[in-house]
Amino acid sequence: MESRLQPISRADRIIVALDFDCQDDALRLVERLSPATFFKVGPRLLAASSWGIVNALAEMGKKIFLDLKLHDIPTTVGATVTNLGRYPVTALSVHACTGSETLKSAVRSARSLPSPIQIWAVTLLTSLSDSAFVDELMINGSPGDYVEHLAVLSRYCGADGVVAPATETSRIKEVCGNEFVVVVPGIRPSGTRRDDQSRLATPAEAIRAGADFLVVGRAITASHDPVAAFLRIVDEMSSAG
Ligand code: C5P
């Protein structure tokens, strides 16, 4: 089975989140940020532009993580994944808490595509604090146990990896194996703002924990010098050894 995913250098492990409200702004950043090879497109940018953004990125030779965070019944998610096969996408996110049937349906559809898409299951939003986890979601157990449990479920259902906080990355690798991809958002290089994120890590911490990919948005996109910000993150990743 041919995969669209072959991580190599440190720079290739950074997925830049194109959280823009206009396609031109997004493409301007991509053009400036020539060392970046992997970009995340989500509902925010799609709602403000068109699916043409995905083809435009592919034509520029970039890999695409389509972060739609699908959350629906098995038939709907399976058919959605099939329809997404028409786009040159490397990976797609589905919420792990949709359960085993939806996850398996997503994986089945993704694997049936002429050019398979990786399915990355979202375990826990990095914006969710411990108190929101307990008081608002009313989930028993610790956030760490919850993330590990959903990672194991996702792997059992055939997902290629999970999106998870850096704090849980090493235990996911331990129970799910090193081949199971762990994608870490909530990345904040030293000295940058927390914004609305709760479960944070520096680039070095995420790499040390075993992250395969780091999702980075505002630390790059809101910087007055995105290229320098990107290269600083690569440096911080390298300092993790
Ligand atoms: O700007 P910042 O680096 O905080 O952006 C993080 C990006 O990662 C956002 O696009 C957000 O949608 C995404 N994300 C996240 N937490 C998850 C999954 C995705 O923050 N669990």
Query: Which of 47, 83, 38, 51 has the alpha carbon at shortest distance from 183?
Result: 38
Cβ burial, residue 57 (10 Å; 0-12/13-18/19+): buried
Ligand 1 geometric centre to CA of 157 (Å) = 24
Q: What is the pTM of this model?
A: 0.94
Q: Is 102 near ligand 1, meaning CB less than 6 Å away?
A: no
Indicate the top mutation candidate among 215, 220, 230, 233 to test ligand 1's pocket, ranked by most ligand atoms within 8 A of CB.
215
**Residue in this structure with the two tokens 């993150």, named with its chain if needed:** 233
> Residue 5 — pLDDT band, cuts 50, 70, 90?
low
What mean pLDDT comes out for the span 203-225?
Answer: 96
Residue nearest to atom 18 of ligand 1 (CA): 125
The whole-angstrom separation of Cα 45 and Cα 43 is 6
Phi, psi for 178 (deg, rounded to 5): -70, -25
**Cβ contact 175:150 at 8 Å:** no
What are the tens digits of pLDDT across the range 93-148?
999 999 999 999 999 999 999 999 999 999 999 899 888 888 899 888 899 999 99
Number of helical (H) and strand (E) elements in the chain, helices listed first: 11, 8
Q: Is 163 near ligand 1, meaning CB less than 6 Å away?
A: yes
**Residue in this structure with the two tokens 């604090």, named with its chain if needed:** 129
Q: Is 192 near ligand 1, meaning CB less than 6 Å away?
A: no
Q: Is 179 near ligand 1, meaning CB less than 6 Å away?
A: no
Indicate the top mutation candidate among 15, 16, 18, 19 to test ligand 1's pocket, ranked by most ligand atoms within 8 A of CB.
19
Query: Which of 18, 58, 23 has the alpha carbon at shortest distance from 40?
Result: 18
116 secondary structure, DSSP code: P
Phi, psi for 175 (deg, rounded to 5): -90, -30
Task: Kindly tell me if the per-residue pLDDT of 6 is higher than 70.
Answer: no
| Chain center to CA of 110 | 17
Task: Kindly tell me if the per-residue pLDDT of 24 is higher than 90.
Answer: yes
What are the helix (H) ranges across the chain?
23-32, 43-48, 52-59, 74-84, 100-112, 130-131, 143-156, 169-176, 203-209, 218-221, 226-238
- Three-state DSSP at 96 gives helix
Q: Is 128 near ligand 1, meaning CB less than 6 Å away?
A: no
Residue nearest to atom 17 of ligand 1 (CA): 125
Residues marked as catalytic: 69
